[in-house]
């Protein structure tokens, strides 16, 4: 497959030509909201939540795990005024497909005898989970007990269904 | 301001009703691509890169810093087949507005005498930067020297201009 980045400038043209007055948007999110969700390719959080440019910080990683993102959350709250966090995990997530030792084993098998690789991969907690609703509740509870979170933060927990596009609240 | 999450179900209705056949998309990204970019509210990476649901993993945090996301990158490459990473930072980024000691000072001033808060915030590297193009190059170089990255990975570095919506390659 040819590299995708060679097409970025061309694919960007339509957006640039219809950019309108978005260049005047302020840096702080208008809705004072952080959405944390998975990197999964099937998710378009702006589209499925009806968010426009300027509305919300969107943080994404494998699974939508809050524990990787304390740096970003503190910056968002303390410098840019957000006061609400919505955590989304989703059905059919890749995080449901492996156990704690699987990724270290895969990485080490691809670089046999490489001690630097082994040490580096063993240092990572890959944060797999077995139940989507439970994982949302765990992440919401983690946020609510986090000393660096502003106490007035409104935290909610959600599941996105990749088969229907529907969101539903679970925490 | 009323909590935003009370409107999520209503805002989601249009997306659900026009969901079409997106429920049959596969989990692995069709373009074998990871886009890493900032959480900034003004950015809609799917829109400004013309990406559809199913195309690419999208990882977002404060600044679009790769160092926070090694867990997600390893999962994306080893379990879901991505082989290209495009790093985007952007103009007028919040990361340009503070120095290394500013956030610890702000957080400690809001919780005077709280040793647990002080220790926790001092443990975070907030990863501020002073020049967007330089920060993209640093992140691209970091990825290229990362032992856990697959050696065949195509890495490129980009700036998104919040005043024009335009993307430009710098690495």
Report ipTM (2 d.p.).
Answer: 0.98
Residues from chain A contacting residue B59 (CB–CB below 8 Å): 39, 60-61
Rounded to whole angstroms, the Cα distance separating B118 from B113 reads 8
Q: How far is B44 from chain A (nearest CA, A)?
A: 6
Task: Find the residue in A nearest to B92 (Cα).
Answer: A27
Structural tokens at position A119: 């040490």
- Residue A48: inside a domain: yes
Pairwise CB contact (< 8 Å): B59 & A75: no
Beta bridge partners of A74: none
Structural tokens at position B148: 């856990």
- Sequence-distant (≥ 6) Cβ neighbours of residue A105 within 8 angstroms: none
CATH number (domain holding residue B82): 3.40.1050.10
Average pLDDT, chain B: 97
- Residue B161: inside a domain: yes
SS3 B137: helix
The residue among B61, B93, B103 with the most chain A CBs within 10 A of its CB, best to mutate, is: B61
DSSP conformation letters of A67-131: GGGHHHHHHHHHHH---EEEEEEETT-GGGS--TTHHHHHHHHHSTT-HHHHHHHHT------S-
Q: For residue B15, what are the CA distances in angstroms to A4, A30, A54, B2, B112? A: 27, 22, 20, 23, 46
Confidence of residue B120 (pLDDT cuts 50, 70, 90): very high
- Residue B11: inside a domain: no
Confidence of residue B117 (pLDDT cuts 50, 70, 90): very high
Q: How far is A6 from chain B (nearest CA, A)?
A: 10
Residue-level pLDDT at A2 = 85
pTM for this model (two decimals): 0.98
Pairwise CB contact (< 8 Å): B53 & A76: no
- Residue A4: inside a domain: no
How many structural domains is chain B composed of? 1
- Residue B76: inside a domain: yes
Q: Is A133's Cβ below 8 Å from some Cβ in B?
A: no
Of A28, A30, A167, the CB nearest to B9: A167
- Residue A9: inside a domain: no
Pairwise CB contact (< 8 Å): B169 & A9: yes
Residue-level pLDDT at B170 = 98
Of A22, A158, A163, the CB nearest to B165: A22
Q: Are strands B84-90 and A154-160 parallel, antiparallel or unpaired?
A: unpaired
Structural tokens at position A110: 């691809």
- φ and ψ at residue B90, rounded to 5 degrees: -145, 160
pLDDT surpassing 90 at residue B159:
yes
Rounded to whole angstroms, the Cα distance separating A73 from A9 reads 31
Residue-level pLDDT at A1 = 78
Rounded to whole angstroms, the Cα distance separating B95 from B90 reads 10
Which A residues, 91 through 110, put their C-beta within 8 Å of a C-beta on chain B?
92, 94-95, 97-98, 103, 106-107, 110
Pairwise CB contact (< 8 Å): A79 & B68: no
Per-residue pLDDT of chain A (171 residues; tens, 9 = 90+): 789 999 999 999 999 999 999 999 999 999 999 999 999 999 999 999 999 999 999 999 999 999 999 999 999 999 999 999 999 999 999 999 999 999 999 999 999 999 999 999 999 999 999 999 999 999 999 999 999 999 999 999 999 999 999 999 999
Q: For residue A65, what are the CA distances in angstroms to A59, A89, A93, A138, A140? A: 10, 8, 12, 10, 10
Strand ranges inside B39-105, DSSP E: 56-61, 84-90
B68 is in an annotated binding site: no
**Residues B75-90: tens digit of each pLDDT:** 999 999 999 999 999 9
B122-148 in b/e form (b: 16+ CB < 10 A) is: eeeebbbbeebeebbbbbbebbeebeb
- Residue B23: inside a domain: no
B125 is in an annotated binding site: no
Residue-level pLDDT at A161 = 98
Rounded to whole angstroms, the Cα distance separating A90 from A157 reads 11
Confidence of residue B39 (pLDDT cuts 50, 70, 90): very high
- Residue A144: inside a domain: yes
* E strand or H helix that includes residue B77: helix B70-80
Q: At what angle do helices B70-80 and A102-110 cross, to 10 degrees?
A: 70
Range of the domain at B92: 28-96+129-169
**Residues A87-129: tens digit of each pLDDT:** 999 999 999 999 999 999 999 999 999 999 999 999 999 999 9
Confidence of residue B168 (pLDDT cuts 50, 70, 90): very high
């Amino acid at each position: 497959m040819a590299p995708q980045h060679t097409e970025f400038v061309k694919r960007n043209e339509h957006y640039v030509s219809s950019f309108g007055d978005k260049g005047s948007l302020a840096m702080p999110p208008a809705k004072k909201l952080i959405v944390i969700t998975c990197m999964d390719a099937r998710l378009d959080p702006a589209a499925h939540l009806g968010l426009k440019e300027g509305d919300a910080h969107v943080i994404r990683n494998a699974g939508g795990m809050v524990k990787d993102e304390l740096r970003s959350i503190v910056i968002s709250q303390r410098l840019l005024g957000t006061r609400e966090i919505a955590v989304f995990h989703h059905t059919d997530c890749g995080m449901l497909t492996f156990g704690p030792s699987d990724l270290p084993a895969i990485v080490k098998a691809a670089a046999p005898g490489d001690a630097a690789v082994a040490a580096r991969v063993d240092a990572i907690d890959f944060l797999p989970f077995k139940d989507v609703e439970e994982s949302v509740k765990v992440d919401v509870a983690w946020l609510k007990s986090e000393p660096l979170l502003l106490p007035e933060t409104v935290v909610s927990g959600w599941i996105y269904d990749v088969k229907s596009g529907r969101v539903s609240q679970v925490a």
